[in-house]
């Protein structure tokens, strides 16, 4: 469990805050102010990979995912489900999520891996519940989402993808209520109803966006609790600190460390560096969230932090659609974690961090 990436960010912010990375072939942006600027200027720093001259298969067009589309098309697609994801709408699912969480945590054994035993299951079950995936199909849904996220790479994808397409189409066929599938079912784009392909693309984006990120947030909360026994005590005595704790965890150990997909739509000078139209830009949220120019004592976990405008959910037009759901799951999860374990201490020898610079979290997490 290394802190090295954070020292690396600090060095880069000091020496070369906007630098060209030959290995990835993209500009790396490290300062809060610049990361914020890129996020807020989607018309200059587009999310559409076609600006790079190379359009990866299935990564463009409304059938794929609106995370790689610019406005106005992006907005039209996002708005189909945006009202559903408002905090006031998501709050309605609170009791449901509590039931799911307590069910999973009660079967977690003290010596079991927390990630596979709880942190993976909570978001997967919550999203499949919201999508109306029946209990009997949950395991299949989980395998499908692992393929989509890229956690599985064997040759079984086509078969399971065909199966899930048929299953999703079946679920869509009788959805006329106010749940998320019905909302997507009624959706239209450029005055035409969404095709089946587009609807399933929409579901895939929710699966990709919501599962691994929330899993990592839950694991990272345990890491912070382990590193700060005093905070454990504070939270046990006072639920009012839950929200601050979650926001500070998002800042301190951001589940997504960088976003690799912005493309310059025009020539632009950023922090004195000439970025050319078509250049790829990676924005380092994890570094921005530790920038001393934006946060007091950024290397310190401060549960009482007053101003915490972290960028863990991004910012601007593509800001995380599922943030209210992730926050609610984290809040319910935190209560259940503190209730389950009297004292939380990570077993550093047995636990492993993920080996992927884009995400921050555990692949395996054992408690002592
Ligand atoms: C702790 C958990 C989460 C983190 C850290 C996270 C982070 C992010 C970030 C940084 C973005 C911005 C991407 C960009 O600007 O290119 C994003 C977008 C998105 N997220 Fe999340 N996310 C989380 C949970 C969720 C959940 C639970 C869902 C839904 C079920 C979700 C759905 C989405 C969607 C649909 C987008 C695309 C929004 C758009 O392009 O307009 N996320 N997320």
pLDDT in tens, 247-283: 999 999 999 999 999 999 999 999 999 999 999 999 9
Measured from CB, residues less than 6 Å from any atom of ligand 1 are: 47, 66-67, 78, 127, 205-206, 209-210, 213-214, 217, 255-256, 259, 312-314, 318, 320-322, 325-326
203, 89 contact by CB (below 8 A)? no
pLDDT digits (tens, 9 = 90+) for 195-217: 888 888 888 888 888 889 999 99
pLDDT band at 132 (very low <50, low <70, confident <90, very high): confident
CA pair distance 314, 47, nearest whole angstrom: 13
Atom of ligand 1 at shortest range from CA of 316: 15
Pocket test for ligand 1, best of 251, 322, 333, 358 (most atoms within 8 A of CB): 322
Atom of ligand 1 at shortest range from CA of 130: 30
Residue 30 structure tokens: 């490290």
User: Mean pLDDT of all residues in the chain?
Assistant: 91
Report the DSSP pairing between strands 26-29 and 280-283: parallel
Of 32 and 132, which is predicted with more confidence? 32
Question: Coil, helix or strand for 253?
Answer: coil
Across 126-152, average pLDDT: 81
**51 pLDDT more than 50:** yes
pLDDT band at 60 (very low <50, low <70, confident <90, very high): very low
Residue of minimum CA distance from atom 6 in ligand 1 = 313
Residue 206 structure tokens: 């929710």
DSSP annotation of 49: G
**68 pLDDT more than 70:** yes
CA pair distance 228, 194, nearest whole angstrom: 49
Pocket test for ligand 1, best of 123, 209, 312 (most atoms within 8 A of CB): 209
Distance 243 CA to ligand 1 centre (A): 19
**63 pLDDT more than 60:** no
Residue 222 structure tokens: 């345990």
Of the candidates 315, 245, 257, 321, the residue with the CA atom closest to the CA atom of residue 289: 257
- pTM more than 0.85: yes
Distance 110 CA to ligand 1 centre (A): 31
CA pair distance 40, 33, nearest whole angstrom: 10
Kindly list the structural domains of the chain, giving each domain's residue range(s) and its CATH number in brackets, ordered by start. Answer: 4-364 (1.10.630.10)
CA distances from 304 to 244, 335, 353 (A): 7, 19, 27
Distance 229 CA to ligand 1 centre (A): 30
Residue 18 structure tokens: 């906007």
CA atoms within 13 A on the CB side of 16: 6
Distance 318 CA to ligand 1 centre (A): 8
Atom of ligand 1 at shortest range from CA of 311: 10
Distance 320 CA to ligand 1 centre (A): 4
Residue of minimum CA distance from atom 37 in ligand 1 = 67
**144 pLDDT more than 90:** no
**61 pLDDT more than 70:** no
CA pair distance 336, 235, nearest whole angstrom: 12
Residue 15 structure tokens: 């020496």
Atom of ligand 1 at shortest range from CA of 66: 40
CA distances from 262 to 8, 70, 79, 281 (A): 22, 11, 22, 5
Number of helices (H) and strands (E), helices first, in the chain?
Answer: 15, 11
Instruction: Return the sign of the alpha-carbon dihedral for residues 48, 53, 58, 62.
Output: positive
Of the candidates 118, 119, 112, the residue with the CA atom closest to the CA atom of residue 367: 112
Distance 358 CA to ligand 1 centre (A): 14
Q: Where are the alpha helices (DSSP H) in 41-137?
A: 73-81, 87-90, 94-106, 114, 121-131
Residue 305 structure tokens: 């932090």
Across 301-313, average pLDDT: 96
């Amino acid at each position: 469990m290394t802190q090295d990436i954070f020292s690396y960010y600090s060095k880069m912010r000091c020496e070369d805050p906007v630098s060209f990375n030959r290995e990835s072939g993209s500009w790396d942006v490290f300062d809060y102010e610049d990361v914020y600027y890129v996020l807020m200027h989607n018309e200059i720093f587009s999310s559409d990979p076609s600006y790079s001259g190379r359009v990866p298969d299935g990564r463009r067009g409304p059938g794929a995912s609106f995370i790689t589309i610019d406005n106005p098309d992006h907005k039209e697609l996002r708005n189909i489900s945006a009202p559903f994801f408002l905090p006031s709408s998501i709050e309605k699912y609170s009791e449901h999520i509590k039931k799911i969480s307590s069910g999973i945590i009660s079967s977690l054994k003290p010596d079991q891996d927390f990630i596979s035993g709880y942190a993976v299951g909570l978001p997967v079950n919550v999203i499949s519940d919201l999508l109306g995936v029946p209990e009997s199909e949950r395991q299949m849904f989980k395998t499908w989402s692992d393929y989509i996220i890229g956690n599985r790479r064997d040759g079984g994808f086509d078969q399971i993808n065909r199966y899930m397409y048929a299953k999703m189409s079946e679920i869509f066929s009788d959805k006329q209520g106010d749940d998320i599938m019905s909302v997507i079912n009624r959706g239209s784009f450029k005055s035409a109803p969404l095709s089946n392909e587009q609807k399933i693309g929409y579901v895939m984006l929710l699966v990709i966006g919501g599962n691994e990120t929330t899993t990592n947030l839950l694991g990272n909360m345990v890491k912070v609790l382990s590193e700060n026994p005093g905070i454990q005590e504070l939270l046990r005595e006072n639920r009012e600190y839950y929200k601050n704790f979650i926001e500070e965890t998002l800042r301190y150990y951001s589940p997504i460390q960088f976003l690799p997909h912005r493309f310059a739509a025009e020539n632009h000078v950023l922090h004195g560096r000439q970025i050319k139209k078509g250049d790829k830009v990676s924005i380092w949220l994890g570094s921005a969230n530790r920038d001393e120019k934006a946060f007091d004592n950024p290397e310190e976990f401060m549960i009482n932090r007053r101003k915490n405008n972290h960028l863990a959910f991004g910012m601007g037009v593509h800001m995380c659609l599922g943030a209210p759901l992730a926050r609610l799951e984290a809040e319910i999860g935190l209560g259940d974690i503190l209730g389950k374990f009297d004292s939380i201490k990570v077993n550093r020898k047995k636990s492993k961090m993920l080996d992927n610079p884009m995400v921050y979290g555990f692949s395996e997490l054992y408690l002592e």
